[in-house]
Structure 1
Amino acid sequence: MLPPEPRLPEARELIEEGLYFVLHAPRQTGKTTTLSSLARELTSEGRYLAIHFSCENARVAGDDYAAAEEMVLDAILDACGTLEVPPDCLPPSPWPDAVPGVRVQVALRAWARRSPRPLVLFFDEIDGLTGAGLVSVLSQLRNGYTTNSAVFPHSVALCGMRDVRDYKMASGGDPTGARSTSPFNIKAASLLLSDFTFGEVADLYGQHTKETGQEFEDQAVQRAFEASQGQPWLVNALARHITRHMRVPLSEPITDAHMDEAVERLILERATHLDSLVDRLEEPRVHRVIEPILAGTSLPLDERYNDDLSFARDLGLVSRGRPVQIANPIYQEVIVRVLSQGVETTIDADPRAFLLPDGRLDIPRLLTEFVAFWKANGEILDKRETYHEFACQLVFMAFLQRVVNGGGFIDREYAVGRDRVDIAVRKPHLDEQGRRAVQLSAFELKVRTDKSGDQVDKGLAQLDGYLDSLGLDTGTLIVFDRRGSAAPIVDRTSIGRSTSPSGRVITLIHA
């Protein structure tokens, strides 16, 4: 366990100033742990009464704002009942009578008058409130704060996945994300709980070493950070797979090979955390963001896209930096595998047939078999894929996944505006001396459209750069032709050779 409060240093300053603020971050990043710890510390210091409680139960209330108000007040009483709250600081029980629509405001004002300590309230899972219930609670907090803050909670934090700008949609506002008035426009700041840094990952894993004596090798920690980008749930899940499920003996150090296996296990397992993200892929707002990233095309130039991008970032699916890309390689791999699994089920190929005697992949056979599969099925598969801009690339990735099938590792590089997808396949095998070795193969995928022009020369130059970064002498360029005037797939698909600008011999597939 990492100390939670250093991850949110601004919160205490806002509380000291008596301000209302928002804390948001994707699910399972440590919001609840951080706020609960901060509440306990503030209360134990004796200056404030800080209560952390969840609005999750109010999810069922929806537009029934009277029920939503009652559930929120019940949650506060329940939280106080489980904590060591000084008797003179306890809220009134029962709460004072009030008509629906002002019950929260009246109750909190009565409590603030009664308590000798200033109240600090953390509304966790505020996303549980929707519709009129959300409008009612937020409006009462705003009204209580603006009319007489001296007899109202000193500081309030709303905690959930979304920033305050999206509350207008949760409350039944404009579903397109267009600008409108927020029902909580009194917030002083929106705090984002960030992912772990590399140093924090190393510290966390170092605690395991201190307790058990089992070391994480530097390369293993680096691999964990690269695969997870510090997403807290993923960081912990990887270590849990290694120590609990893979049961690496305590006498052995944890290596990058162990971490690679843990990454693959986590992707295949697709735990609840990952499935909850995958379920979002068909939402129009998420689709508009994810598809250009996967296809490497340019971003839509409209204001609605910016709101959609912020929404996808709040979900944790997309990184906050530039260029816009999937948040981390594990999410990236899960998304592609989910989108391609329908295609993969149609591929009748035995992975063992693509292995050479020494355990390496037979790349020429893999490409020959893919060309045959594309000729037979490409037309149908291309038209049926939901992520249409990415359909061609998805078919090749599904074929590759079926052939590699757990015996190797697929690394994919794509982001908005790259105009290509780069893929590296790592296949462990034993060399002539029986030592562990890795076969590395590179593929670049390009798409020719009515607007793009011929992509071969550009693709060869781009592939040169990719091969330079991998230290390889050769690779494969696949150009999918999606022009309206393109010949039928059977006629236009071929496999041959070409030469890159640096003189490399490249396998070139027109598809």
Structure 2
Amino acid sequence: MKLFNTAGPCRPEMHYMLPPLRRIPEAIALIETMGYFVLHAPRQTGKTTALRALAEELTASGRYAALQFSCEAGEVAGDDFEGAQRTILASLRSRAETSLPPELQPPPFSEVAPDGFLLYGALKAWAEACPRPLVLFFDEIDALRGQSLLSVLRQLRAGYAERPHAFPASVVLCGLRDVREYKVASGGDPNRLGTSSPFNVKVASLRLGNFSGEEVAELYRQHTTETGQVFTDEAVAHAFEVTGGQPWLVNALAREIVEVMRVPATEPITAAHVDAAKERLILARQTHLDSLVARLMEPRVRRVIEPMLVGVPGDEGADVTYDDDVSYVRDLGLVLTRPLRIANPIYKEVIVRVLGNKAEDQVMDEPRAFVLPDGRLAWRKLLRAFSRFWREHGQALATRMPYPEAGPQLVLMAFLQRIVNGGGYIDREYGVGRGRIDLLVRYPYRKPDGTRAEQRRAMEIKVWRRGQKNPLKKGLAQLDVYLGELGLSRGTLWIFDARGKLARKPVRKEDVVTRGGRRVRVIWA
């Protein structure tokens, strides 16, 4: 039986997969015109699978000798560019011996070359000896660092004019980021190339995108065809909603449901199964999610993400590097642009849980203490408990958050997560530029007749900072709209007073009715 793959390149005989070449339709035309170009995408989106399939098809056509190989082993060389080149050539040869027929494999590489031109000489010799034009896919190119990366890029540029008879006809650099973001030591900011690119011969930058909703359905149907187990339309739609079509997440959700949760093959897979699998993935923090989490403390990432959590615009216009930082965080896969937002609901969950870990660890309340006899959440009791928690610990915890500007929001979300976790779900919306975060708590329970039901409670978070107007009026108007979209008649508005000595103490509450006739409990903290 085939499997949903979450580790390494997909293999058609083993894994459910979409046609890989369909995901990079522009590549063939660029190769046929001897283009040097970049293919970039976040980790675990199917880059290597697509490149291998393309290399195999090109070689099988009889027109090219095409090879995909990894540069990742060269990372340990650091600035030792000679060592990095030898490692790359060893990786290239090893891959060629298993992927190409003998007549297309490279000749022995010379160990003697001018300083910094070992790779150039080897590729030149191979192109001259090979009976077909060479097409090379440098996978994981941005694993190289500093002078090693700079040297490789410059050697490729130096040989560009000699293609196709004395240098590869087409070269594809594949990695996490576009070439303008490759980290090289170029005498300036080590995070940027500067104005003079060492790879200015590229003709295009292609970005491998996420799956569409139709592609998620197509992938899941392969499982249905093989096993007879159906993913309901609601399950497929919900899987696309919570993953945003991110390929690893799409596969990981299905794998969790089918292989780990072991939903019987005779039972259809529902949206409830997707929710359960999502929660399990978040709690497990598998390698894919951990690799993203590790980026959150990078200054460039924080500069983009922190304002989103606060609900305020970023530093557009403050200096020219902000847009570069947004592009960098987008290339990591953490955000989408136009409008700027977190890439998908699972990443939203992971980000706030990681950033709020310290606060969640301080919550001593037992989640079961907030469950009513009929299985619903004791919402008013929960609000009172957080008010008490904020009085005792909130200010101190907020100032110690990894993103202190978002401290109050992170503390509240951490408390909710601790209480709701395991029994319900929290959906988050960041109102970038509107100074708010909207939360929807969903808590499944059973009615007296045994049928499934879901309790829903909506909340908006605002912070009143020094120099700002009282946010009550605007907050009520925004929450009124949010409640209307959800079809709810009541909600909660939290306003954290962060004006220092001007702040109103202690926590206080008031009940108001919005213009839309919805009842809102306003809590000042």
Q: Do structure 1's residue 438 and structure 2's residue 493 form an aligned pair?
A: no
- Is it true that 1:498 corresponds to 2:509 in the alignment? no
> Which residue in the other structure is 2:237 paired with?
222
Q: Who is 1:189 aligned against?
A: 204
Q: Distance in 1 between matches of 2:139 and 2:383?
A: 52
Aligned residue pairs: how many?
Answer: 507
Task: Say which SS state the counterpart of residue 454 (structure 1) adopts.
Answer: coil
SS at match of 2:442: strand
Task: Return the offset for 1:418.
Answer: 2.8
Q: Distance in 1 between matches of 2:186 and 2:264?
A: 52
1:323–1:415 contact (8 Å) kept in structure 2: no
SS at match of 1:459: helix
Give the partner amino acid of 1:498: V
Q: Secondary structure at the match of 1:464?
A: helix
Corresponding position of 2:491:
475
Q: Conserved in 1, the CA contact under 8 Å of 2:182 and 2:193?
A: no
RMSD: 1.4
- Give the whole-Å Cα distance in 1 for the aligned partners of 2:103 and 2:220: 43
Within 5 A, what are the aligned runs for 1:187-336?
Answer: 187-301=202-316, 302-319=319-336, 321-336=337-352
> Structure 1 residue 421 and structure 2 residue 437: aligned?
yes
Query: SS at 1:9's partner residue?
Result: coil
Is it true that 1:122 corresponds to 2:157 in the alignment? Answer: no
- Contact 1:447–1:481 at 8 Å: present in 2 too? yes
Equivalent residue for 1:88, pick from 103, 114, 130: 103
- Structure 1's unaligned 5+ residue stretches are none
Contact 2:109 2:122 in 1 (8 A): no
Give, in whole Å, the separation in 2 of the partners of 1:171 and 1:116.
38
Aligned residue type for 2:380: P
Q: How many angstroms does 1:178 deviate by?
A: 7.6
| C-alpha distance after superposition, 1:477-504 (max 9, x if no partner) | 000111133237xx23212212212222
State how 1:345-384 maps to structure 2 within 5 Å: 345-384=361-400
Query: Are 2:181 and 2:193, in contact at CA under 8 Å, matched by a contact in 1?
Result: no
Query: Cα distance, 1:35 vs. partner?
Result: 0.2
Following TM superposition, by how much is the alpha carbon of 1:88 offset from its aligned partner in structure 2, in angstroms?
A: 3.0
For the 8 Å contact 1:409–1:426, the answer to whether it is kept is yes
Residue equivalent to 2:3: none
1:112 and 2:127 equivalent? yes
TM-score, structure 1 as length reference: 0.97
Any idea what SS the aligned residue of 2:377 has?
coil
Give, in whole Å, the separation in 1 of the partners of 2:185 and 2:216: 34
Identity over the aligned pairs, expressed in percent?
Answer: 56
Contact 1:443–1:476 (Cα < 8 Å) also in 2: yes
| Contact 2:181–2:191 (8 Å) recurs in 1 | no
1:269-296 CA-partner distances (Å, limit 9, x unpaired): 1100000000010000000011011111
Q: Report the CA distance between 1:150 and its aligned residue.
A: 4.0
3-state SS of 1:297 partner:
coil
Deviation at 1:405, TM superposition (A): 2.0
Deviates more, 1:4-13 or 1:104-113: 104-113
Give the conservation status (yes or no) of the 8 Å contact 1:130–1:171: no
- The answer as to whether partners of 2:146 and 2:183 remain within 8 angstroms in 1 is no
Corresponding position: 1:27 with 2:43? yes
* Residues 168 and 180, structure 1, Cα contact 8 Å, conserved in 2: no
Provide the secondary structure at the position in 2 that maps to 1:307.
helix
Q: Does 1:66 align with 2:82?
A: yes
| 1:29-66 Cα shifts (integer Å, max 9, x gaps) | 00000000000010011000001110111111111111
Aligned partners of 1:125 and 1:160 also within 8 Å:
yes
TM-score by length of 2: 0.94
Residue 479 of structure 2 aligns with an amino acid whose one-letter code is L
Secondary structure of the residue that 2:234 maps to in structure 1? helix
1:10 aligned residue: 26
Deviation readout 1:373-414 (Å, 9 max, x if unpaired): 111112211221121111001111111111112100110101
Query: Which amino acid in 2 is paired with 1:508?
Result: V
Q: What letter corresponds to residue 99 of structure 1 in structure 2?
A: P
**How far did residue 20 of structure 1 move?**
0.1
CA deviation after TM superposition for structure 1 residue 177, in Å: 3.8
Amino acid at match of 2:51: L
State the Cα distance separating 1:144 from its structure 2 match. 0.8
Between 429-438 and 31-40, the greater mean CA deviation after superposition = 429-438
Q: Do 1:21 and 1:188's aligned partners in 2 also have CA atoms closer than 8 Å?
A: yes
Q: Distance in 2 between matches of 1:357 and 1:171?
A: 66
Q: Give the drift of 1:472.
A: 0.5
